[in-house]
Structure 1
Amino acid sequence: MGGHATTVYPQATRLLITADAGASNSYRTRAWKSELAAFAAEVGLEITVCHFPPGTSKWNTIEHRLFSHISMNWRGRPLTSHEVIVNTIAATTTRTGLRVHAEFDTGQYPKGETVSDAQMAALPIVRHDWHGDWNYTLRPEPTQPGAEEPPPSAHRADRRDLSRLVHPVVTGMPTTAWDDLLTRLAVPREAQGAADLHNRRGGVRRLPPGTGRRPRLTLADRLRATVLDQRLGMPQPVIGDLFDVSRMTINNAVRQTRQLLAQIRHTIEPANVRLATLADHAARAGLDITAEIEKAC
């Protein structure tokens, strides 16, 4: 597929894939994203995937322009072998010019292989602002498919107290304005979280409220991370290290928090410098930053 695409479209830099929401290319399937990332790096194309929402796969034009004609061509024929299946698909034509190429894939696909949290965090994936679970882009960057989870000793024994990151030097706003912003975001975030859970469950809640896994980032954490990303331009892997979560978790949190800020029409103004750490920000801005914030760095 990759070699053919780059030969037919040698000037192409991007590839758009529309996919159903389930089966092997489900938006929840880690192996799908991992293999796409490897493919993007191999062919040098930026790959954008747009999944049809659950239950709406019939909107996919390939269902109407290809699969329906293949089904009519079968006409109840017993599919007794792989050869019969491939030949029946390949023999499908229409008066409007449909021609189908089909061949038997002899590749080996071992079962039971998993993609770890560390491998997922290493993928060069960017989720879109609009339903990021269903719409995302994989950049043509090399990943580390053999990456393993870091040993437990590599994680912080106790998470740093990042509450001091609401210092005006960091947020660019007085503490009272910060508290007011958190209050304004509370209700929209609750609705956003409920909708996100509903989409991931694919239906209504089956367990009573308050049960299940606690969120890794609180609303305050999400807003702090968004300020570091949008105001100071801090790299997301660095932010993830501060909060002891993956880059993907930070990416999702920032994307969702930006949506909430847009709802209440609040804009985070970028600082004059785009830096890697808070210590750099304090030094270059010539500002007095508290010892607590320096420890958080």
Structure 2
Amino acid sequence: MASKCQPGLVQHLREEIETETAGSPVNVGQLWTNRSTRELSEVMAERGFAACPNTIDRLLREELGLGRRQAVKDRALGQCPDRDAQFKRIAELRRSFTCWGQPVISIDTKKKEMLGNFYRPGTARTDGLVHTLDHDFGSVGNGKLIPYGVYDVNANEALMALAQGSDTGELVGDAIRRWYHRMGRYRYGGANRMLVLADAGGSNGCRVGLFREKLWELSRDLGMSIRVAHFPSYCSKYNPIDHRLFSHVSRSLKGIIFRNVEAVAEAIATTKTSTGLQVKVEVMKRIYERGIKATENFLMGNFIRPDDEIPKYNYKTIHYQ
């Protein structure tokens, strides 16, 4: 082996890469390099060692324990003081609503996408080439697509509402309404309460008046109380819809060119998992406008009741008890 025939090779290889820090000099002792094996082979040759790129690759893996890894997105931007308490509260609410056969839904907006003949990552089997524009200019596209998801946590079913315009509280209310009339009422026809799990920010954020008003209108129309529990700030990845729906939808959309809404809807509708996930798609005909605020009547009225426990993240409509 090269490491035995050439004493000092591994040590010199270590010295060459241990000054690199992956942009984080505080990780003392952690080895990291993005240099190619060919480049490292040439550097070792300058130091008097004969090691081809394949040998360098083997030494990095077997002698220094360096595997190929990507960066992991697991560091929160900040810390919420109510984090643990709110997670416990959400768990309690989920158990209670599930025990009594009441719906528990998780809502959120998936990544917005431009419509048009634009390149998207992913591969597909084809007997030819798929040609797209060489620049992603929105001015030559057909607008922006907003995929909004409503995921039934216990039934493992979801509705994906595909809308255009802006991501607003009106879209949230319409998406939940569509989910209930198309899917929810058949499973929860006798329910008088609904639990909604949402992120703390965005169109369904904990401080968005329009979102609260549209939930109040929905509770009035459906004749049920709607309780909302927001995940703490910086904890959106824990929202069930993110890892139980959106990750699978992303897989279905790999290699798909978003030329029009119908192509996206057809691809999302094929989403399935071994655990029985079912996804239905609704193309929203309305164009949602930016800048619409909650009405004065709602803001001045007493239509939302905050909880005594962490009221910032927990509240309910008060039409029906």
Bigger RCO (CA 8 Å, 6+ sep): 2
Q: Tell whether the structures are fold-level matches, with TM greater than 0.5.
A: no
Bigger share in strand = 2
TM-score norm. by structure 2 comes to 0.41
Give the structure with higher Rg (CA).
2
Bigger share in helix = 1
TM-score norm. by structure 1 comes to 0.44
